[in-house]
Amino acid sequence: MANLEYINRHGVWLEGNVIPLGSNLNPKKMPPILTLESLDPLLGSVAGLFYETTQNGYPVWKISQGLRPGDPLHQTLLGHFTNEQHWELISASRVSNVLSHGDLMITVGSALCNYQHFQDLSLGHETFSQHRDRLADIAKYASLLRPLFEAEPLRFKWTMIESEASPVRGKNPFKDIDWFCAALQSIEKRAANLASNPEGLQEIRFDAIQPLSNTKKSERQYIWEPIFRFWIRTTQKVGYSEDGPIMRVLRIIHSTLGIAAPNADAVRQAIKDFNGRPRANRRLAAPKKQ
């Protein structure tokens, strides 16, 4: 139980990326960042669930072995889910210990982020070349605008930002101008770097990591299949029923994203295809070795 007390004393940040224990982190600013791989030897299969609290101004996940359905679990879970939806995800996924709960949060969080990332980039509607060309144009016009603006003698007469809600708001025109010029310089530099670095742009777009299949919808690739792999990791059978646990989880995620409910026939077919690739599925679902 000493390990559980340690985690509860220091807090946990769950991240999708693997950050080994012993990484160079500043404990005065944030709690240790752990992943399922590093939690495994610490917690084994400790019964209980994670709940969110704050520590030193940061959100952290701690462990409780006395939570009951309906009890508060989080303040900002993934920025989207209600407490009721969180409990529904736990119930539908048959989560019974902190490791499976952490895996569920990482899986759902990654699905949300990946889907939104690809939708924001409009992948499938815009080619890589079109995206790179636009970034090159952004860099070009930012580099043209900045010296023109800096040379304009009336620039200090302008109120840069009118919005009351803005953190930078025209009270000091000199600071406004400095901020605007610095922003243009940063935009120029970053856009130019991405436009001239195809590998870096592909990585940010996830092209090289998880390219969108021409035969799959983004919902299937970035939401449904990660949930199927989570089912395998928790030793559950990936099967379909209209009001079954997988459909319940998918409906919650779709609702959270504000997109149409998952099509039953499409999910049924996706599960059939998924179960037809048992070796590939086991390989993708298996935890990565350090």
> How much is the pLDDT for 63?
80
> How much is the pLDDT for 281?
52
Instruction: Give 155 or 175, the one with higher predicted confidence.
Output: 155
> How much is the pLDDT for 245?
96
What is 125-180 written as a DSSP string?
A: TB-HHHHHHHHHHHHHHHHHHHHHHHT-TTGGGS-S---TT-SS-SSSHHHHHHHH
Q: Which of 109, 105, 107, 113 is nearest to 50 (CA)?
A: 105
- Structure tokens belonging to residue 157: 């007469």
> How much is the pLDDT for 234?
86
Using DSSP bridges, classify how beta strands 58-64 and 49-55 pair: parallel, antiparallel or unpaired: antiparallel
Q: How distant is the alpha carbon of residue 84 from its chain centre?
A: 21
Q: Which of 275, 277, 276, 243 is nearest to 262 (CA)?
A: 243
Q: What is the mean pLDDT of the chain?
A: 75
Nearest 10 degrees: CA dihedral of 123, 129, 130, 131?
60
> How much is the pLDDT for 45?
60
Residue 290, pLDDT > 50, answer: no
> How much is the pLDDT for 209?
46
d(CA 257, CA 87): 18
Q: Out of 25-39, 64-78, 140-154, 235-249, which region has the weakest mean confidence (pLDDT)?
A: 25-39
> How much is the pLDDT for 265?
95
> How much is the pLDDT for 38?
58
Residue 166, pLDDT > 80, answer: no
Residue 162, pLDDT > 90, answer: no
Q: Which of 77, 26, 23, 25 is nearest to 50 (CA)?
A: 77
For Cα atoms 114, 220, 287, give the angle at the middle one, nearest 5 degrees. 65
This prediction's pTM: 0.62
DSSP 48: S
> How much is the pLDDT for 11?
58
Average pLDDT over residues 228-254: 93
Average pLDDT over residues 180-202: 90
> How much is the pLDDT for 168?
47
Q: What is the pLDDT of residues 201-231, one digit of tens each?
A: 877 776 644 555 545 688 998 899 999 999 9
Residue 76, pLDDT > 60, answer: yes
> What values do phi and psi take at 28, rounded to 5?
-75, -20
d(CA 223, CA 36): 20
Residue 160, pLDDT > 70, answer: no
> How much is the pLDDT for 210?
53
- With b meaning 16 or more CB within 10 Å and e meaning fewer, what string describes 136-169? eebbeebbeebeeeeeeeebeeeeeeeeeeeeee
Q: What is the pLDDT of residues 9-51, one digit of tens each?
A: 555 555 444 333 344 444 444 455 555 555 665 555 667 788 7
Average pLDDT over residues 148-153: 87
Percent of the chain with pLDDT over 70: 64
d(CA 33, CA 14): 6
